[in-house]
Structure 1
Amino acid sequence: MGMMYATGQGVAKNDAKAVEWYNRAADQGYAPAQYSLGVMYYSGRGVTKNSTKAFELHSKAAMQGEVDAQMSLGMLYQYGDGVEQNYTKSIEWYSKAASQGNAHAQYNLGCMYYVGEGIAQSYTKAFEWFRKAAEQGLVDAQNNLGVMYMNGQGTAQNFALANEWFLKAANNGNAMAQFNIGANYLDGINGLPKNRTQALNWLKKSADNGHAQAKLILDGLN
C-alpha cells in the first residue's frame, strides 16, 4: 500500500498515506519498507526531511541485504549526510551493493578508486567498476570508461573502444560524452577524423544539455 500511495498506482497519490503504510511495514522489520521510508525522510516527502532518520532506516534495511539501502549508506557515509563522514564505511557499503550488481554503487566505487578518495588510488580498479556499471547502461560510467580507454588508464589505450563508449553515452544523452565526441571530431584526434559537421552536431547536443565548455566553443566557431 505504501508504494501505491507513493506512486499513485491504483489510488490517489498521497505521500502522507505512503509514510503511514511504510511505517507499519518497517516496524515489522520489512527491509523494502524500511528503505522506502528512509527515502521519504531523506527527500522530505510526506514527512519532515530528516537525513539522520533516513540513515537509521537505511542501516536497518542494509543489514538485511537490501541492495538499494546499501548503496544509500555508501553515499551517506561518503558525504557525511545524516551520519559522520567515514570513507571506510562508505567503501564497505558501496562494495556490498556493487557486488550484488547495483550499477550506481559500482560507479561510485569506481569514482573513489579513480581519485583515491578514502582508498588507495587505482586506475585498474576504477576501470573494472566503471565497466561493470557501463555494461548495465549507466551513462556516466559509459563516458568514464571512454575516457579511460582514450587515456590508457587502467587498461591499454584503445581509441576505437573509447569512441564506442562515448557514442553509447552520447546517444543516451550524456553531455560530457557528447562534448568528447564533438571535440575529437573538431580536432581530428583520438581515433576520429576531422569533421566539422559532426563536431558541430555533437557540440550543439552537448551545449543544449548544459555543457558550458561546449557552448563556449560553439560561440567561438560561429
Structure 2
Amino acid sequence: MKKIIIAALLAASTQITLAAPADVDPQFAKIEQLVTQKNFKGAYDALDKLAQQGNAQAIYNLGYLMQTGQGTAKNEKKAIELYEKAAKLGYPVANYVLGKNYTAGSLGLPQDLTKAKQYLERASAANFDDATVDLAVLLFAESKPESDKLALRKIEPLIKKGNYQAMHVKALYDISLGFKNKDEKSVQKGLNGIQDLAKKGYTPALMAIGNIFANGNIVPQNLPEAKKIFAALAKENVPQARESLAAVDKMIAEQAKAPSRTAAQKKS
C-alpha cells in the first residue's frame, strides 16, 4: 500500500511550468505577455537579461525554457544547472523541481531519495505546499513510525486549511495503515476521505476510487463503475486515465469470456 501512496501522489502533482512571482513586477509581466503570445525567443532573451542580474525567478524560468526547448535549443543538463543555481539562491520552485526529479530519477538525474528529501525540505520550509505534500509521501514510504509521525506533522497544517493534496495523502495513509494493522476502521476512514474528495471533483481521488472499484481489494469489484469513472476522466485528458480505462475494458472482456469457458469445460 505504500507504493500506492507514492504512485497516487506523483501522478497527482502539479505539472511544472513557468513560475511567476506573487507580485508580478513590470519586467515579468512583459515576459508573461510574450509567453502568452508564444514568443518564447523573446521571453528567453528577456529572462536571460534578468538572470544575468542574479534574479532567481528568472534563472529558474530560463532553466525551464531550456528543459523544454522553447525559445532556445533543448538542453536538460544546462536546465539542471540553472535549477541548482536558483535553488541555491533560495528559490522554492527550483528546490521543488529538483526534489521531484531526484524522486523519479528523471531529467538525467539518478534516483536519489536522500537528495530528493533535502530539496523538498528546503521548498517546504519556504511554505511551498506541493513540496510539503511530496515530502510527506516519501516519509510515509519509509514505513517507519518516526517517519510517519514526521509526515503527519508536516501535512496536518495543510489539512486544516483544506489542502486537497494533503487530505488525499492522509486518506491513502489511513487505508495503508488499516491494512497493515488489520484495522477496518482505519481503512474505512481513509476510504471515506477519498470519497469526500471525489465528490468534490478532485481528480486524483476520482482516479483512486476508480482503481478501488477495479481492484476489488477494499470494496467489492465493480468494473462498470470503474469504467464510467475512467471514461469521464479520459475525456478530460487526465494522465493515466486512458491506460486505466483500457485495462478495465480488458478485464471486462476477460470476465465475459469466463462463462463460455466454463460451459466448454463442462461439455468436455
Please state which band the TM-score falls in when normalised by the shorter chain: 0.7 to 0.9
Is 1:182 matched up with 2:206?
Answer: no
Against the structure 1 CA distance between its residues 34 and 120, is the aligned structure 2 distance closer, same or farther, given a 3 Å change threshold? farther
Aligned to 2:136: 110
Determine the structure 2 residue equivalent to 1:18. Answer: 43
Does residue 148 (structure 1) correspond to residue 177 (structure 2)? The answer is no
**Equivalent residue number for residue 163 of structure 1:** 192
Change (3 A) 1:181 1:75: closer
CA contact under 8 A between 1:203 and 1:218: conserved in structure 2?
no
Residue 249 of structure 2 is matched in structure 1 by: 215
What corresponds to 1:72 in structure 2? Answer: 97
2:202 corresponds in structure 1 to 172
The alpha-carbon distance between structure 1 residues 107 and 200, as it changes in their structure 2 partners (threshold 3 A), is same
How far 1:28 moved relative to its partner?
A: 0.4
| Residues 1:87 and 1:180: Cα distance change in structure 2 (over 3 Å) | closer
Contact 2:173 2:190 in 1 (8 A): no
CA spacing shift, 1:81–1:108, aligned 2, 3 Å: same
Deviations 1:52-76 (A, max 9, x none): 2112212222222211111012134
When residues 2 and 28 of structure 1 are mapped into structure 2, their CA distance, relative to the original with a 3 A threshold, is same
SS class of match (1:152): helix
For residues 16 and 132 of structure 1, what CA distance do their matches in structure 2 show?
A: 41
Partners in 1 of 2:255 and 2:167 — Cα distance? 28
2:70 is the alignment partner of 1:45? yes
Cα distance between partner residues in 2 of 1:130 and 1:149: 13
Q: 1:136 aligns with which of 163, 166, 175?
A: 163
Task: Give the Cα–Cα distance (whole angstroms) in 2 for the partners of residues 29 and 103 of structure 1.
Answer: 25
Alignment partners' CA distance in 1, 2:251 and 2:64 = 40
Structure 1-normalised TM-score?
0.72
Residue 168 of structure 1 and its aligned partner are, at CA, apart by 0.9
Gaps of 5+ in 1: none
Deviations 1:27-53 (A, max 9, x none): 001111111111111111111111221
TM-score if structure 2 supplies the norm length? 0.62
How far did 1:214 drift? 3.5
How many Å separate the matches in 2 of 1:129 and 1:162? 21
Q: Quote the residue 2:4 is aligned against.
A: none
Compute the RMSD of aligned alpha carbons: 3.7
Give 2:186's aligned amino acid.
Q
| Structure 1 residues 60 and 32, CA gap change in structure 2 (3 angstroms) | same
Give the direction of change, closer, same or farther, for the CA distance of 1:50–1:88 in structure 2 (3 Å limit).
same
Q: Secondary structure at the match of 2:164?
A: coil
Q: CA deviation at 1:127?
A: 4.7
Confirm or deny: 8 A CA contact 2:93 2:123 kept in the other structure. Answer: yes
AA aligned to 1:111 is V
How far off is 1:126 after superposition? 4.5
Aligned length: 208
Task: Name the CA distance, whole Å, in 2 between partners of 1:167 and 1:216.
Answer: 29
For the 8 Å contact 1:23–1:33, the answer to whether it is kept is: yes
Q: Flag the 1:94–1:115 CA change in 2: closer, same or farther, 3 A.
A: same
Please give the secondary structure, in 2, of the residue aligned with 1:13.
coil
- Identify the structure with bigger relative contact order (alpha carbons < 8 Å, sequence gap 6+): 2
Cα distance in 1 for residues equivalent to 2:225 and 2:112: 43
